[in-house]
Structure 1
Amino acid sequence: MFQRTLARLTVINSFVFFIIYFLFTLILYGYLSYRLFDRVDEAMRLHASGFRLANGIVVPLERPIFDPRIFVLARSTDGRIVNPIPFHENEFKNIDEITSNIEAGELNTKDYEGHVYRIMRWPYVYQEDLYDSDTNFRVESVFIISIVDSEVQLLNNFLWLIIGGGVISVLGIIVAGFLLAKRAMVPIQEAWEKQQQFVSDVSHELRSPLTGIYSNAELMLRYPDETIREECHRINTIMQEAKRMIKLISSLLTLARSDAGKSDISLSLINLSDVVNEVISHFEVFKEINHISLVANIESNVEVVADKDRVHQLIVILLDNAFKFTPVGGQVTIDCYIFNRNAIISVRDTGVGIAPESISRIFDRFFREDKSRSRNSGGTGLGLSIAKWIVEKHAGKINVKSALGKGTKFTVSIPIQRRH
């Protein structure tokens, strides 16, 4: 699949680059052609519009332009052609072929005997049109002819340069298209692998509680005469596994909404100190059951613009992790204070710690350093992912420091002033 996508992206990128190159060279060629012939055409128009007779004599141009490549021919009403400025007879031969089939007002380019001529036929509009009374030559129109060999040669050379450069450029375009396509495929492939891993992890997490629920329900069906009291342990297991599934699905729904940008944050001015104290009161029971001391250093009236429910969830996640990985007799410490215009929440424990190579991955979804131990304690590996998302939604930062056998410290900083 990825190879086919890579090939398609290469073709698309190459086609786009080729179109850009073709349009650029086409515009450049057209502009060069226009600029080369623009001056020549303007000089020819000046000669054509300025041609006028007075008593059978050509009146000089008001603004004489000397260009040896431009000469003027007069055409009579009966089709004869003369040159008002005489030159050698051998230069005048075959002039009828050069000027043939050109209508008044036209501007043509013709090849003739190895030269390129640019020819303009201009109607004569003045009343005095008698040029030669002996031959009754009355001027009907004027031919302006210019030799443009150098301009045409330059355009031809440029065209060959474009063609030659185009052949080389096509190879470069294909290589560039392939490299860009390959680079574009990196995040796609990474996202695909993460999605595959995500689906695998979700399937694995859901299979365990479903298996427990099914197994206990099947055992209960095998003994239909048993009382609820006798099957109480199996019912309790089913409830615990269902609770675990509800927690997992709720976490997945939160992350899915955050990925889709649909998980709104309701900001308001809250007293962070009160929120932290409220969460601490819920963990008093864990302190007594697990024999883990909980030390709180809460600065009073720490106010911050935040979503109260999400901040409450964040603190629960951090304290829950601290208690899970702190052995009996350990200590969990939570601090809340203001520092450098930021509200700081710090949770540290004297637990097992995190290996250095795992610290960079602890916020990844479903990552657990000790999977069997985390699963036994009810963990799904999604808590810290949700915690990071909550912090980022509040324009804050979350950092972790840990040492194996010494404990872990999470530090959250949230700006105390933030617009709704």
Structure 2
Amino acid sequence: MFKAIKKFSSLRLKYIFKGDKLFDSLRLRLTLSNIIIMTILLMLFVISTYFLMEHQIFNQSEQLVQNIATAIESSSAQQLEQFDKADYFYIKIKESGEITQAFSTNPHFGPKELSEFAEGILRKKSSKGDFDWHDLSFTFLKVPQKQQQGLLIVSVGLNRELMVLKFLLAALFITGLICLGLAFYSSLYLANRALIPIRKSWQRQKDFVADASHELRTPLAVIQTNLELVMGNPKETVEEQEEWLTNIKIEVSHMTRLVEDLLFLARVDSEQQLLERSNFSLDRAINQVVKPFIPMANNKGIELKIEVEPEVDFYGDEKRISQLILILVDNAIKHTPINGEVRLKMWVVGNDVDILVSDTGEGIEEQHLDKIFERFYRIDKARAKSIEGTGLGLSIANWIVKKHKGTIKVSSIPGKETAFTIRLPKEN
């Protein structure tokens, strides 16, 4: 039995370490996934922006050469003046290939350069398009001359526009890198934030397994010890071994309640534990729950005072509300000494119902008040061993109250009293 428990503990440690590695891996995967998505989106943005601007530049250039060609054909010097700031030139060529007129706003283009450029464009079959010459880019247009036979070639330089386009591409690339860097840290931050509820759930599960194994270890050890005593005296009668068998029965009963509470909380964590709401008489339900505690309290010399307002209709889960009252009253009686007093009171306040369960027991120190609803939390573990219970009751009670959209508060004066105050809406 002890070997099995030891093996279970070692497996639990492996489970914890594996869980830590799993979170690191999951955080890395989430971060990388976000970065990959951001990279793809940024690339699409940069590429689409670049090609959109390039298309716009070439469209404007084509429109510009068309306007210049129109102004040249009209032989209007006034119309051509508006294009003086543009980097353009035009060439008029006869059908024989002789250049009759050439003009350029670029001083670096002389007759020789213009002649070479014209030969290059004439070799192209298309009437308009782009042309690269000596590491320079141009947009050109070839149209028949209206006033005489031949062609008119108009070309606009694209170098300034392409430089702007390259600068835009570099700026987009640098901005993209910065955005990716920010996206990395943002994704890491968001991944950590996204993992917080998962970590809490994982931690709760680890604590659940650890606490359950700890709580089960003691009754299992007691059962094993008593069974060894029984088996060590095979000739004795059942009556003679009643003490050991009674101990086994008590521990089995304790384990049964513990397993039931653990299963209840497991269903709560997986959201499988749902409320079955209906209208019922709250005062009748409370009286039914408290009735079996009266002789128990009398046997301990405890006065159990019950003040329940009659004819109170309530909408909720009758079974869980009864379980809530049972947990609080049972807890109060267990922690109240002889000649003490336990009080249960229920009354209506507007659309709410208030329930008070108080006792004159040992009380709870202030530093424990905000922790007593945690699972397996024990104020005094040494003293808790002498008090029957699983350490899960108040956690279950807290869940029942919250599911009914109510509140539960605890106040205590150490050595004098403890009071649990519950407020529940009559219709929730």
Per the normalisation by structure 1, the TM-score is 0.80
Q: 1:108 aligns with which of 127, 130, 133?
A: 130
Counterparts of 1:81 and 1:258 in 2: how far apart (Å)? 95
Structure 1 residues 82 and 343: alpha-carbon distance in aligned structure 2, compared to 1, 3 A threshold: farther
Matched, 1:382 2:404: no
Equivalent in the alignment of 1:95: 117
CA-atom RMSD in angstroms: 3.7
Matched, 1:240 2:255: no
The question of whether the paired residues in 1 share the 8 Å contact of 2:324 and 2:400 is answered with yes
Structure 1 residues 240 and 120: alpha-carbon distance in aligned structure 2, compared to 1, 3 A threshold: farther
Per the normalisation by structure 2, the TM-score is 0.79
Query: How far did 1:373 drift?
Result: 2.6
Q: 2:48 aligns with which of 30, 34, 38?
A: 30
Query: How far did 1:26 drift?
Result: 4.8
The question of whether the paired residues in 1 share the 8 Å contact of 2:38 and 2:180 is answered with no
Query: How far did 1:101 drift?
Result: 6.6
The question of whether the paired residues in 2 share the 8 Å contact of 1:102 and 1:108 is answered with no
Query: How far did 1:325 drift?
Result: 1.1
Equivalent AA in structure 2 for residue 41 of structure 1: N
Query: How far did 1:312 drift?
Result: 0.6
Percent pairwise identity = 28
Equivalent in the alignment of 2:275: 265
Matched, 1:293 2:303: yes
Counterparts of 1:106 and 1:329 in 2: how far apart (Å)? 109
Deviations 1:262-290 (Å, cap 9, x if unpaired)? 11211111111111111111211221111
Equivalent in the alignment of 1:341: 351
Q: 1:230 aligns with which of 240, 249, 252?
A: 240
Equivalent in the alignment of 1:16: 34
Q: 1:417 aligns with which of 413, 420, 427?
A: 427
Query: How far did 1:213 drift?
Result: 2.0
The question of whether the paired residues in 2 share the 8 Å contact of 1:47 and 1:72 is answered with no
The question of whether the paired residues in 2 share the 8 Å contact of 1:352 and 1:404 is answered with yes
Deviations 1:280-313 (Å, cap 9, x if unpaired)? 1121122111111111221112222101111111
The question of whether the paired residues in 2 share the 8 Å contact of 1:37 and 1:151 is answered with no
Equivalent in the alignment of 2:340: 330
Question: Bigger CA drift: 404-413 or 4-13?
Answer: 4-13
Q: Which structure 2 segments of 5+ residues have no match?
A: 1-17, 105-109
The question of whether the paired residues in 1 share the 8 Å contact of 2:130 and 2:137 is answered with no
Query: How far did 1:102 drift?
Result: 4.8
Query: How far did 1:18 drift?
Result: 6.0
Counterparts of 1:69 and 1:219 in 2: how far apart (Å)? 109
Counterparts of 1:249 and 1:325 in 2: how far apart (Å)? 23
Counterparts of 1:98 and 1:26 in 2: how far apart (Å)? 36
Question: Bigger CA drift: 171-180 or 407-416?
Answer: 171-180
Counterparts of 1:318 and 1:105 in 2: how far apart (Å)? 95
Equivalent in the alignment of 2:329: 319
Query: How far did 1:153 drift?
Result: 1.9
The question of whether the paired residues in 1 share the 8 Å contact of 2:316 and 2:427 is answered with no
Query: How far did 1:76 drift?
Result: 8.7
Equivalent AA in structure 1 for residue 116 of structure 2: N
Deviations 1:87-126 (Å, cap 9, x if unpaired)? 574673332366377553774363x446432x2567x7xx
Equivalent in the alignment of 2:7: none
Equivalent in the alignment of 1:251: 261
Query: How far did 1:83 drift?
Result: 8.6
Query: How far did 1:16 drift?
Result: 2.4
The question of whether the paired residues in 1 share the 8 Å contact of 2:337 and 2:361 is answered with yes
Counterparts of 1:369 and 1:180 in 2: how far apart (Å)? 37
Query: How far did 1:346 drift?
Result: 1.6
Matches within 5 A, 1:4-403: 5-6=23-24, 9-10=27-28, 12-13=30-31, 16-17=34-35, 19-20=37-38, 23-24=41-42, 26-28=44-46, 30-31=48-49, 34-35=52-53, 37-38=55-56, 41-42=59-60, 44-45=62-63, 48=66, 58=73, 66-67=82-83, 68-69=86-87, 89=111, 92-96=114-118, 99=121, 102-104=124-126, 107-108=129-130, 110=132, 112-113=133-134, 115-117=136-138, 119=139, 131=146, 137=150, 145-166=155-176, 172-182=182-192, 188-403=198-413
Query: How far did 1:28 drift?
Result: 4.8
Query: How far did 1:318 drift?
Result: 0.8
Query: How far did 1:242 drift?
Result: 1.0
SS across alignment from 2:370: helix
Structure 1 residues 327 and 95: alpha-carbon distance in aligned structure 2, compared to 1, 3 A threshold: same
The question of whether the paired residues in 2 share the 8 Å contact of 1:398 and 1:412 is answered with yes
Equivalent AA in structure 2 for residue 154 of structure 1: V
Equivalent AA in structure 2 for residue 116 of structure 1: S
Structure 1 residues 38 and 72: alpha-carbon distance in aligned structure 2, compared to 1, 3 A threshold: farther
Structure 1 residues 306 and 4: alpha-carbon distance in aligned structure 2, compared to 1, 3 A threshold: closer
SS across alignment from 2:291: helix
Query: How far did 1:258 drift?
Result: 1.0
Structure 1 residues 250 and 51: alpha-carbon distance in aligned structure 2, compared to 1, 3 A threshold: same
Query: How far did 1:234 drift?
Result: 2.3
